[in-house]
Structure 1
Amino acid sequence: MPEQVRGVVARKMGAPVEVVDIVVPDPGPGEAVVQVRACGVCHTDLHYREGGINDEFPFLLGHEAAGVVAAVGEGVTDLAEGDFVVLNWRAVCGRCRACRRGRPQYCFDTRNATQPMRLTDGTPLSPALGIGAFAERTLVAAGQCTKVSPDVEPEVAGLLGCGVMAGMGAAMNTAPVRRGDTVAVIGCGGVGCAAIGGAELAGARRIIAVDIDPAKLRASERFGATDLVDARNADPVTAIRSLTGGFGADVVIDAVGRPETFRQAFYARDLAGTVVLVGVPTPDMELELPLIDVFSRGGAVKSSWYGDCLPERDFPELVDLHRQGRIDLAEFVTERIRLDEVEAAFDKMHRGEVLRSVVVL
């Protein structure tokens, strides 16, 4: 039978979110219902609330989540009730041109549940990134569930569902950072600190953290930053070059996603170096660069989709690294909150007071 549970909904652009009753249907073919244990508060959820993704209101927010499979639909054979899973928004189809060419991390036809969740008056909800996990239960495609060890806390595991994976993957998969590289990361929020952690895991010899917030710069040291640049008092390009013998970094990761930070990243890299954009811009942003500079500097300019991850490969691996003590994913959790504290968490995010607020259910 369909279940009525509590969820966090954005009804209209810019309005405060509300905790309301929603209806979650029984899973259909290829679907699963997941009892959500924890869900991180991500900038992308705020983008949805502000209409920065699309205007398909009302939204059921939340996507950076872990939980336990409560039920599966017809034809689901690789999940069972009780499995501990991290939810992902790249459930690969296995059939599109990217998948057929052996590049499932770029799948162009990712799957979501086909049935809608609804408000109690029957209004269909748009789940954030096809997940909608600021809720006691959510309906997803079975392929959006990635099984990981249940020995890790849900509030830690769930962060792999978006921000931590995006940042670590930008360094380890998209760039990719190689042993001995110099790396600069512009923006030291959750994604930027994850990129720093990924660069350290990959063997970077120098990792330069750039931000305008001294608290975030101090936090970046916990993840492996070797040098700090306060962009309020120093030009990031000049500072990065001075720390790399005048050449620039081998890899520069823009974890902010603004034209000005992208330009800084572009000019702060060494000749034939790599720029990676993992910060999410808004649709109105435009970039101007002299084409001759794009040509003459060589190297690579890349955007990182979800850290170019393959969830079934990367999520269990990172959980195992956490369990081995090689990375401390718990460092990303600033506070644990309730469903009715999501709006306040957005305010803290705006003020730069948290790496991650995590809703615990």
Structure 2
Amino acid sequence: MGTGRARRAVPPHTVAEGGIVSQTVRGVIARSRGAEVELVDVVVPDPGPGEAVVAVQACGVCHTDLHYREGGINDEFPFLLGHEAAGVVEAVGEGVTGVAPGDFVILNWRAVCGQCRACLKGKPWYCFATHNATQKMTLTDGTELSPALGIGAFIEKTLVAAGQCTKVPDADAAVVGLLGCGVMAGFGAAVNTGGVGRGDSVAVIGCGGVGNAAIAGAKVAGATRIIAVDVDDRKLEGAKAFGATHTVNSSVTDAIEAIRELTDGFGADVVVEAVGRPETYEQAFYARDLAGTVVLVGVPTPEKQVTLPMIDVFGRGGALKSSWYGDCLPSRDFPMLVDLYQQGRFPLADFVSERIDLGDVEAAFEKMHKGEVLRSVVEL
């Protein structure tokens, strides 16, 4: 693929088959399992009822996009990749009242319904009926695209459900767009799911973007001892910038014993597992204090299994939790985190390793695979 900046000029609206008004823009797709991504023309329909078209300003390159390309999510190729994004609402469909053209928004992949059993219980962050745009974006030959996490934001303009647009204060899109996935997942794993509070001890296993966001979240919440665990000294050094007070290289040191030693022999109050592997989950389980909390936010592949003695599950008490999207409520959490960033209290800009062009996504995947970046961010 070329690495030049994608063109921004957008052809005039055209009338597609069936009378649907649409426009053609440039976007990045994964056509088949494991194939290099392609920069192609994509047809974006005008928004229908409950939908919005957003002019994307920036989109982070997340591990989930790589999982889509590798067929690790499902096989509904071709995928329109990208989901960790911010931009400006260009148009809205009938019945949309929450956002309007001109609004600066972060895109989210859990547009809550307000009517399912979770929403009616007052726990909308668990919404079981989240929704996406009804219409499909397509290739110019009519092939329907599957947008990553219902968003598809490696593109100049994207079609989403209006509920996937969260209005926030104006800010650097390349920075705040990261709240759309990885940073929110990590921050929320510590603060929302783990319930980290003042004076708590916290251990975070895995110091990529999600793990570092959990570390930063623990610091904001008032944790006084924050232990970063990884096998890469470079990542451990980086974790200090986000608030880690201690680091453990688990390739040379027993992580469980090290965490206990750093917590007066007890174990951490909250352990966040940001890797998604059985061996690191077991470390998290045994590295927590009695009645402590384990939070799984690392995404395991389907074949991964963990086995624990039931007597230990019973005898250690506490809670074993999984964290979906940091158990976030975008309308509540995104504006709050943008405010904290703008106040200098949350180091959101430090997650941006590089700013790249739309044609550089494949190269960004390679850097991610090598552990060379926290986040490459596509700017449009």
TM-score normalised per structure 1:
0.99
Deviation per CA, 1:74-110: give whole Å up to 9, x if none. Answer: 1111211110000000100001000011100000000
What letter matches 2:169 in structure 1?
A: S
CA RMSD across the alignment: 0.7
Q: Give the structure 2 partner of residue 334 of structure 1.
A: 353
Aligned 1:1-361 pairs, distance under 5 A: 1-150=21-170, 152-361=171-380
What letter matches 1:91 in structure 2?
A: A
Q: Which deviates more, 181-190 or 234-243? A: 234-243
Aligned mates of 1:209, 1:133 — CA distance in 2: 31
Indicate if the aligned counterparts of 2:87 and 2:104 stay in contact, CA closer than 8 A: yes
What letter matches 1:3 in structure 2?
A: Q
Unaligned runs of 5+ in 2: 1-20
Aligned mates of 1:49, 1:212 — CA distance in 2: 26
List structure 1 segments (4+ residues) > 2 angstroms apart after TM superposition: none
TM-fit CA distance, 1:145: 0.2
Unaligned runs of 5+ in 1: none
TM-fit CA distance, 1:330: 0.3
What letter matches 2:163 in structure 1?
A: G
Q: Helix, strand or coil for the counterpart of 1:2? A: strand
Deviation per CA, 1:243-272: give whole Å up to 9, x if none. Answer: 111111010000111111111101110110
Indicate if the aligned counterparts of 2:98 and 2:163 stay in contact, CA closer than 8 A: no
TM-score normalised per structure 2:
0.94
Aligned mates of 2:37, 2:254 — CA distance in 1: 38
Aligned length: 360
TM-fit CA distance, 1:231: 1.3
Q: Which deviates more, 290-299 or 64-73? A: 290-299
Aligned mates of 1:186, 1:78 — CA distance in 2: 38
Indicate if the aligned counterparts of 2:107 and 2:164 stay in contact, CA closer than 8 A: yes
What letter matches 2:296 in structure 1?
A: L
Aligned mates of 2:378, 2:179 — CA distance in 1: 15
Q: Helix, strand or coil for the counterpart of 2:223? A: coil
TM-fit CA distance, 1:15: 1.0
